[in-house]
Structure 1
Amino acid sequence: MLHKIINLTVRDVRFPTSLEQHGSDAMHSDPDYSAAYVVLDTDCGLKGFGLTFTLGKGTEIVVCAVKALAGLVVGKSLQEIVSNFRGFYRLLTSDGQMRWLGPEKGVIHLATAAVLNAVWDLWARAEGKDPKRIVSCIDFRYITDVLTEDEALDILVKAQEGRQQREDQMLKEGYPAYTTSCAWLGYPDQQLKQLCTDALKSGWTKFKVKVGADLEDDVRRCRLIRQMIGPNNTLMIDANQRWDVDEAISWVSKLAEVKPLWIEEPTSPDDILGHATIAKCHNRVMFKQLLQASALQFVQIDSCRLGSVNENLAVLLMAHKFQVPVCPHAGGVGLCELVQHLILFDYICVSANLSNRMCEYVDHLHEHFANPVVIQDAHYMPPKDPGYSCEMLESSVKRHQFPEGDVWKLHQNK
């Protein structure tokens, strides 16, 4: 635990997924799945790996923001950080000058998350954690009117009963997942049909469809997918913040015939009142406000936009207090690798409940990771290697680093 962090490197890693319309939706028609990829080096040789997800252009800005935070990390020992993780979190998010650019929004938020995730990975590789340690990592500032530190500790202590049985269950059965890989907005009908057919053969029963660009086309595509998956399987729709409030109500009413379980991101996540019936928000403070505004049916956290594992833990605990099921997002490079830890922690150590719970899975780019996510029968199987599972293969990083990697040199020459 006396590992001293002696260096922080951050790289702009991009994959040209826009060439085949992977990840396309109503707001992002040509995403190149990318990451600001952070590596922490220590004086004993142990490394920590972290990332936050981006869509190509602008990743260089997140990289610059990470470099601006590096001086707050390099030179510290792991023991110094984890003995007061809450203080370290505030150090990164409360710098007297840089917090003007964030800290729980946009580029600074993404940069902070990449650094914090790398520290979590380093810590996980070094040793285990207990309930008090977990709670000590969460910054309760701004959320104590909903969840106090004592309440959070009580939740974790109570969940220790039956914990081993739940862990054994996850090792055997895995955590239920749903797929978005079949229905990106830019995919042609024949591809949708083939992907749905293949997914059904592989045991998938829950499907999410991107909507929001054209109402008539949405109705047609959703009818097609409902026909492909049958009446008894689950269908969800996702508009990626495309609509105004009234437009969302009208649009979803037209899509009600396909019986969607939920509509995800119908409008701006900053619109608390307009968004009060949707369980999606981009930081823990807004999530708290949503809890106070209405009785939610689902919570959908995003391991990218929500930020670091510290913030995700706060949301999981708040959701449990209000008995709201959590169904995380995980589209994008590395996000499935990250989110599997959150869902397993939630079930084993917090909620002890699988009712109405599932986690997103997309079948893209896992081959670039040292410990890629494992899916069996539409379930996430627990990772067995220490860490946060976001270490990328160095060969993949070099090939996809922007703009000097071989993949981008080839892409630019076309």
Structure 2
Amino acid sequence: MLHTIVDLSVRDVRFPTSLEQHGSDAMHTDPDYSAAYVVIETDCGLKGFGLTFTVGRGTEIVVCAVKALAALVVGKSLQGIVSDFRGFYRLLTSDGQLRWLGPEKGVIQLATAAVLNAVWDLWARAEGKPLWKLLTDMDPRQIISCIDFRYITDALTEEEALDILMKAKEGKQLREKEMLKEGYPAYTTSCAWLNYSDQRLEQLCTDALKSGWTKFKVKVGADLEDDIRRCRLIRQMIGPKNTLMIDANQRWDVAEAISWVSSLAEFKPLWIEEPTSPDDILGHAAISKALAPLGIGVASGEQCHNRVMFKQFLQASALQFVQIDSCRLGSVNENLAVLLMAHKFQVPVCPHAGGVGLCELVQHLILFDYICVSGSLSNRMCEYVDHLHEHFTSPVVIHDAHYMPPKDPGYSCEMLESSVQRHQYPEGDVWKQNTKK
């Protein structure tokens, strides 16, 4: 069947996570984890589900952008899309008028991600496979055909990308079996949101250690003395051998970042995440160079707009850890480009996954990266936050601090309809009862 798309709908779904300070950091002090949630319907009854992540106000703007893209999708057949996925990607990102709103960045790219995530979900469902398996079973040439290489061929050509995938075929089946048995290593951010009390932080760390977690991320950046105290508390709790990362969420100028992180060096963080503006490639490079003697890397990517910016981060040696995001970039298509570039530049990928649905989505991408691209787990791990998974029909499965590969067909995007209705903004019951609007 052709699976012709006959409808595309989008809803504004928000969860009042700010009430308990979940997700709080130095820049986003009161986030309400939210999503522009897309459903595409076909003439044969098969549906695809997709989303892009937001933190509350402004989700309605993304919803409008999704509606603006809908006319480019409705009427297309799934077969027609996937037979020229590069062309379809460019259709969405290069519309002669809509492109002016980006191009390929900001709200319009978030909307593109939501739509394309739903298309990938539809494709995986049509094939009866979880998305990671759909990708790993593809011929390398088909993978390449999904990627728009425009603007990045000075860093990675199609031929180089194909060579990477062909070389990774050796040992591929063994790595897939390894993932099915052991899962992909994860780290937790849930213990140390910025506005959590020390008592809550201590309890969450204690529980996490008992559950097998060995890698912990701490939010920093609001107050240096408070950061020193909290990092000392966390390091004392997790011990000297476990891994600690710190995340400033873009709070500092370049010189301030170098000075501030140097003051936290005694706690031996593996990386400082988003130390300055996510657009400041040369600033990240300066910070990376200054912190290298301290053994502290720089990580970023959750707000990196597109493959072109990632290209420049890698060319400038500005990142020691690449953090892809399944909803910031243009869905799977653009993330594939970044995974391949990161491998060429030998920079490990450690995805961002804090937020509603991001863990469900990005697990598929990192499994593909290990099985079909990097073949390495060295200095690699995927973020995990223990929030809101109960609202999905196929929630993530964590075992012994590892992501276990999803088994259900699709991209794990589908939310429970009851959850969507209750949390739809502003008419859902949760928001009718909540004075915080």
Counting only pairs closer than 5 Å after superposition, residues 2-21 of structure 1 correspond to structure 2 as 2-21=2-21
2:394 aligned residue (342, 366, 371)? 371
Residue type at the aligned position of 2:48: G
Distance 1:228 1:305 in 2: 34
Residue type at the aligned position of 1:156: L
Task: Establish whether residue 299 from structure 1 lines up as the match of residue 319 from structure 2.
Answer: no
Distance 1:371 1:27 in 2: 31
CA contact (8 A) 2:281 2:318 kept: no
2:246 aligned residue (201, 221, 237)? 237
* Structure 1 residue 305 displacement after superposition: 2.2
Q: Which residue of 2 aligns with 1:280?
A: 300
Task: Establish whether residue 313 from structure 1 lines up as the match of residue 333 from structure 2.
Answer: no
Bigger mean CA deviation after superposition, 300-309 or 349-358: 300-309
Q: Which residue of 2 aligns with 1:393?
A: 416
How well do the aligned residues superpose, as a CA RMSD in angstroms? 1.2
CA contact (8 A) 2:147 2:334 kept: yes
Distance 1:306 1:259 in 2: 31
Distance 2:359 2:37 in 1: 15
Distance 1:371 1:188 in 2: 32
Task: Establish whether residue 257 from structure 1 lines up as the match of residue 257 from structure 2.
Answer: no
Counting only pairs closer than 5 Å after superposition, residues 17-36 of structure 1 correspond to structure 2 as 17-36=17-36
* Structure 1 residue 412 displacement after superposition: 2.9
CA contact (8 A) 2:284 2:319 kept: no
Q: Which residue of 1 aligns with 2:215?
A: 206
Distance 2:415 2:108 in 1: 22
1:361 aligned residue (370, 384, 409)? 384
User: Kindly tell me: are residues 269 and 82 of structure 1, through their superposed partners in 2, closer, same or farther at Cα, counting changes over 3 Å?
Assistant: same
Distance 1:240 1:257 in 2: 21
Task: Establish whether residue 134 from structure 1 lines up as the match of residue 157 from structure 2.
Answer: no
Runs of 4+ in structure 1 over 6 Å off: none
Task: Establish whether residue 161 from structure 1 lines up as the match of residue 184 from structure 2.
Answer: no
Q: Is there any run of 5+ residues in structure 1 with no aligned partner, and where? A: none
Q: Which residue of 2 aligns with 1:78?
A: 78
Q: Is there any run of 5+ residues in structure 2 with no aligned partner, and where? A: 128-133, 289-297
Q: Which residue of 2 aligns with 1:53?
A: 53
* Structure 1 residue 295 displacement after superposition: 6.8
Distance 2:262 2:299 in 1: 18
CA contact (8 A) 2:300 2:319 kept: no
Identity percentage of aligned residues? 87
Bigger mean CA deviation after superposition, 177-186 or 285-294: 285-294
* Structure 1 residue 130 displacement after superposition: 2.5
- CA deviations on 1:154-184 (whole Å, 9 max, x unpaired) are 2112211211111110011000000000000
Distance 2:20 2:320 in 1: 34
CA contact (8 A) 2:114 2:327 kept: no
- CA deviations on 1:130-153 (whole Å, 9 max, x unpaired) are 322211010000000111112111
Bigger mean CA deviation after superposition, 286-295 or 77-86: 286-295
TM, length-normalised to structure 2: 0.93
* Secondary structure, counterpart of 1:144 in structure 2: coil
Bigger mean CA deviation after superposition, 51-60 or 293-302: 293-302
* Secondary structure, counterpart of 2:216 in structure 1: strand
Q: Which residue of 2 aligns with 1:40?
A: 40
- CA deviations on 1:31-77 (whole Å, 9 max, x unpaired) are 00000000000000111111000000000000000000000000000
